[in-house]
Amino acid sequence: MLTWLAHRLDGELKADEVVDFYPALAWRSGTHWKLRVRGCVYEPSTVPGVTRLLRRWLGVDPDGLDPAARALVARRLAPFLVDKERGKRFHLHLGPHERVFGMTQANGHFDGTFRFSDSEWAQSGLPTSHAAKVPVRLRARRIGRDLLMPVQVVAGGGWSVVSDIDDTVKITDVPNRRETVLNTFARPFRAVEGVAEAFAAWGREFDPDWHYVSGGPWQLWAALEEFRVEAGLPMGSWHMQEFRAKDRSALRFLGAPVKHKVAEIRQLIRMDPTRRFILVGDSGQGDPEIYGQVAREFPGRIAWIWIRELGDAGADAPRYEKAFGNGEVEGWGVYQTGRELKAWRGPVGGF
């Protein structure tokens, strides 16, 4: 009776609603697998009041831009100007197995962590290492959609690279608010020179998994994933922040992402106690301090830290000595382009 009632209360998936699947994360938990799946359902919309609000927050009037820039602003802002759909309960079908999410919240997000036995994992076609796209079916009540779900596995030891996005692999100029806005919303994304080539070289050298931990909102994920592909950056998991103009999550978007980044990196480190990490960030916000905090919390797990220096400080600058010079990190370096990263021959202990 209760199952029937819950089914009747679930909202149906409508033809004009869009479902975004964010990359899922998989890890071992004892003798089982765990899979965290996140996404968002929304209806494309134009809400003038929200548009005015975002323009006021951004501090740049799109009407003062050239036509190409205005068109890009419209595309980049579109995910912020949608009707988020609450009250839907999705059923995830992976091969012969089904898992059920809780109700979507006011921001349209759904988030579930599911347990699988080894046999269920294999029958579902889920990967046991690295990253892959898995065919799934997502269903509300009766209507479903066949989708590809990216899955990143963190298991089996080895290496992970955690990388920030803004001013680390993509030029944003975070210290300059106006340039940040223009580079985020009104200009094509530009990669930091040579970073994709360096990451490809690392991939050949020690075959790491990749995790993009950013303080940016999930609404920019699709544009950033497109940028990742075009720039030639490796496939990996994404870890971003929820944003909704009507609630307190908007404050996280405007502030420094310290808590968010620390929490996401902690989770990754705890997923596989035998894995070692390389952290890549920049000097524009708090990455040195965030990475230093994580290194102190997990002695011996952080093999190296790379910081893209936006000024002219060297690796021996007082800021870096304070953040990393406590013996918990094997070493650190600064870079401005990917040339320095590509020339690196690994941590002291090797790969």
Please check whether residue 68 lies inside any domain of the structure.
no
pLDDT value, residue 117: 98
Please check whether residue 56 lies inside any domain of the structure.
no
Residues 117 and 170 in one domain: no
Q: Which of 154, 182, 206 is the last residue of a domain?
A: 154
Residues 174 and 322 in one domain: yes
Does residue 83 contact residue 5 with C-beta atoms inside 8 Å? no
- Domains contained in the chain, number: 2
Please check whether residue 163 lies inside any domain of the structure.
yes
CATH number assigned to the domain comprising residue 333: 3.40.50.1000
Please check whether residue 55 lies inside any domain of the structure.
no
Angle between helices 287-297 and 258-271 (to 10 degrees): 40
Residues 119 and 165 in one domain: no
Residues 190 and 252 in one domain: yes
Residues 175 and 118 in one domain: no
As a whole number of angstroms, the distance between CA 132 and CA 237 comes to: 11
Residues 177 and 149 in one domain: no
Residues 329 and 272 in one domain: yes
Residues 287 and 166 in one domain: yes
Residues 190 and 288 in one domain: yes
As a whole number of angstroms, the distance between CA 238 and CA 225 comes to: 9
pLDDT digits (tens, 9 = 90+) for 307-324: 999 999 999 999 999 999
pLDDT value, residue 46: 57
pLDDT value, residue 28: 96
pLDDT digits (tens, 9 = 90+) for 87-112: 889 999 999 999 999 988 888 899 99
CATH number assigned to the domain comprising residue 15: 2.60.40.3770
Residues of the chain with pLDDT under 70: 1-10, 45-58, 62, 244-256, 348-349
- Per-residue CA distances from 53 to 35, 76, 88, 245, 337 (Å): 37, 15, 28, 8, 36
Please check whether residue 17 lies inside any domain of the structure.
yes
Residues 216 and 89 in one domain: no
- The domain in which residue 138 lies consists of 2-43+84-154
Q: Which of 128, 154, 180 is the last residue of a domain?
A: 154
As a whole number of angstroms, the distance between CA 126 and CA 120 comes to: 9
Residues 174 and 321 in one domain: yes
Please check whether residue 69 lies inside any domain of the structure.
no
Closest CA to 269 of 24, 48, 5, 27: 27
Residues 140 and 184 in one domain: no
As a whole number of angstroms, the distance between CA 339 and CA 344 comes to: 9
Q: Residues 6 or more apart from 202 whose CB is under 8 A from it?
A: 161, 208, 341
pTM, full prediction: 0.91
pLDDT value, residue 66: 87
Please check whether residue 197 lies inside any domain of the structure.
yes
302-308 and 276-282 as β-strands: parallel, antiparallel, unpaired? parallel
Q: Which of 154, 185, 216 is the last residue of a domain?
A: 154
pLDDT value, residue 43: 84
Please check whether residue 169 lies inside any domain of the structure.
yes
- Per-residue CA distances from 111 to 22, 23, 135, 193 (Å): 10, 12, 18, 35
Q: Is 78 helix (H, G, I), strand (E, B) or coil?
A: helix
